Structure 1
Amino acid sequence: MASGSAIRGSRIGAGPLGESERGIAAPRVRVTYWCANGHESTPSFAAGEDVELPETWDCTRCGYPAGQDREAPPAPEASVPFKTHLAYVKERRSDEDGEALLDEALAALRARRGR
């Protein structure tokens, strides 16, 4: 059984923190971005003269690139479909090369088996 003097739900140093204990918060600017699906993202950035805001931002809902122009959001990048090992081999070799390699491998296999 737990001791009756324990402070539950708290830790050392916990408590309400105000501006005086944390310091003054840095000035922020919120920028709105829209993706091709119409999702809106509004991240906040540090405000200042020397701060460059990004042109695009990844949408937090769908991952598409988002821009600051609501009417003309950036187009999503074309995704390359997954290729199998066979697709990569077919890019490197012609059918004739494949037949020659297969014949060579079968000849070596038959020679080992004694046929």
Structure 2
Amino acid sequence: MSSGSAIRGSRVGSSPMRPDERTEPAPRRQVTYYCAAGHDSIIWFAAEAANPDTWDCPRCGQPAGLDRANPPGKARTEPYKSHLAYVKERRSDEDAAAILAEALAKVRRRRGE
């Protein structure tokens, strides 16, 4: 009895053993990006594609730029803010007191107090 596997000996995502003679790869070009930590990253783009000004460094994750002498600075990570912190940015204490009073009045009317 056969195993029923038509692709025995290969794995998912594997490429052909040799390139097909009837096709040729698309034209590409390489662009080098430099990060503040001193890493050089060579990224391949299609020949007609525009390359971005910055790229995340694959080694350290910091932004990398096209100029070796002036790489972009380290990215600032914003601290985690809770929902309440965002609400406090939009509302003053007086607004919060007015909204609370309005909500309490609505609840008291519903209860019949």
Which interval holds the TM-score relative to the shorter structure?
0.5 to 0.7
Aligned-residue identity in percent? 58
Cα distance in structure 2, aligned partners of 1:114 and 1:26:
75
Which residues of structure 1 form unaligned runs of 5+?
none
Cross-structure match for 2:41: 41
Matches within 5 A, 1:79-98: 79-98=77-96
Cα distance in structure 2, aligned partners of 1:63 and 1:32:
15
Deviation string 1:8-54 (CA, Å, 9 cap, x unpaired) is 436xxx65336x4433x56654333221233321123456xx87654
| Partner SS, residue 44 of structure 1 | strand
Cα distance in structure 1, aligned partners of 2:103 and 2:50:
60
Cross-structure match for 1:31: 31
Which residues of structure 2 form unaligned runs of 5+?
11-15
Cα distance in structure 2, aligned partners of 1:114 and 1:51:
68
Larger-gyration structure (1/2): 1
User: TM-score, normalised to structure 2's length?
Assistant: 0.61
| Partner SS, residue 89 of structure 2 | helix
Within the alignment, does 1:17 sit opposite 2:19 as a pair? yes
Within the alignment, does 1:103 sit opposite 2:104 as a pair? no
Deviation string 1:69-111 (CA, Å, 9 cap, x unpaired) is 4343111343443432222222222112211221222222223
Question: CA 1:69–1:9 in 2, change beyond 3 Å: closer, same or farther?
Answer: same
Q: Which amino acid in the other structure matches residue 58 of structure 1?
A: D
Cα distance in structure 1, aligned partners of 2:19 and 2:106:
78
Cα distance in structure 1, aligned partners of 2:27 and 2:99:
67
| Partner SS, residue 42 of structure 1 | strand
Question: CA 1:54–1:91 in 2, change beyond 3 Å: closer, same or farther?
Answer: closer
